[in-house]
Structure 1
Amino acid sequence: MKNNIEWIFFDVGSTLVNEEKVYCHRLQDIADAVGEPFEKIYNMAIDLYKNNKKGDLELTRKYKVSGSKWYLEEEELFEDTEETLKALSPKYKIGIIANQSLGTAERLEKFGIKKYIDLIIASAEEGVEKPDKRIFNIALSKASCNPENAVMIGDRIDNDIVPAKELGMKTIWIKQGFGKYWNITGENEIPDEEINSLSELKERFL
Structure 2
Amino acid sequence: MTGDDTGEADGTRETASDAATADDAGADPAGSAVPQWDAVFWDIGGVILDVDSVKRGHRRYVEYLVDEYDLDVPVDEAVDAWRTAVGEHFRERDGTEFRSARDGYAKAIDAIVGEAVPEDEWLPRFREVTGETLEPNPGAREALAELAEMDVHVGVISDVDTAEGRHILGAFDVREYFDSVTTSEEVGRTKPDPAMFESALGAAGVPAERSLMIGDRYRHDAEGAAAVGMSAIAYGADDGEAVDYRVTDLREVPAIVRRGRVPRNDLLL
- Normalised by the length of structure 1, the TM-score is 0.71
Q: Structure 2 counterpart of 1:138, which letter?
A: S
Equivalent residue in structure 1 for 2:76, among 20, 26, 32: 32
RMSD: 3.2
CA contact (8 A) 2:155 2:181 kept: yes
Q: Structure 2 counterpart of 1:205, which letter?
A: V
Q: Distance in 2 between matches of 1:83 and 1:162?
A: 27
Residue number in structure 1 paired with 2:50: 18
Q: Distance in 2 between matches of 1:147 and 1:78?
A: 26
Cα shift at 1:143: 0.9
Equivalent residue in structure 1 for 2:234, among 151, 173, 176: 173
Alignment partner of 1:94 is 2:154: yes
Give a deviation string over 1:29-70, Cα, whole Å, max 9, x none. Answer: 79922999xxxxxxxxxxxxxxxxxxx949xx9xxxxx7679
CA contact (8 A) 2:42 2:215 kept: yes
User: Within 5 Å, which residues of 2 pair with 1:174-193?
Assistant: 174-175=235-236, 180=237, 182=238, 184=239, 187=241, 190-193=242-245
Q: Distance in 1 between matches of 2:51 and 2:134?
A: 5
CA contact (8 A) 2:57 2:130 kept: no
Q: Distance in 1 between matches of 2:195 and 2:79?
A: 42
Give a deviation string over 1:61-97, Cα, whole Å, max 9, x none. Answer: 9xxxxx7679742321123111111111122110000
Q: Distance in 2 between matches of 1:156 and 1:118?
A: 23
User: Within 5 Å, which residues of 2 pair with 1:47-126?
Assistant: 57=87, 72-73=130-131, 74-91=133-150, 92-103=152-163, 104-126=165-187
Q: Structure 2 counterpart of 1:10, which letter?
A: W
Q: Secondary structure at the match of 1:77?
A: coil
Q: Distance in 2 between matches of 1:126 and 1:26?
A: 26
Residue number in structure 2 paired with 1:162: 223
Residue number in structure 2 paired with 1:140: 201
Q: What 5-or-longer segments of structure 2 have no aligned partner?
A: 1-18, 20-25, 27-34, 63-73, 81-85, 92-106, 110-125, 259-269
Structure-2 change in CA distance of 1:77 and 1:25 (3 Å): closer
Structure number with the bigger relative contact order (C-alpha 8 A, sep ≥ 6) is: 2
Q: Distance in 1 between matches of 2:230 and 2:157?
A: 13
Cα shift at 1:201: 1.1
Q: Which structure has the bigger radius of gyration?
A: 2
CA contact (8 A) 2:58 2:130 kept: no
Mean Cα deviation higher: 24-33 or 163-172: 24-33
Q: Distance in 2 between matches of 1:100 and 1:72?
A: 16
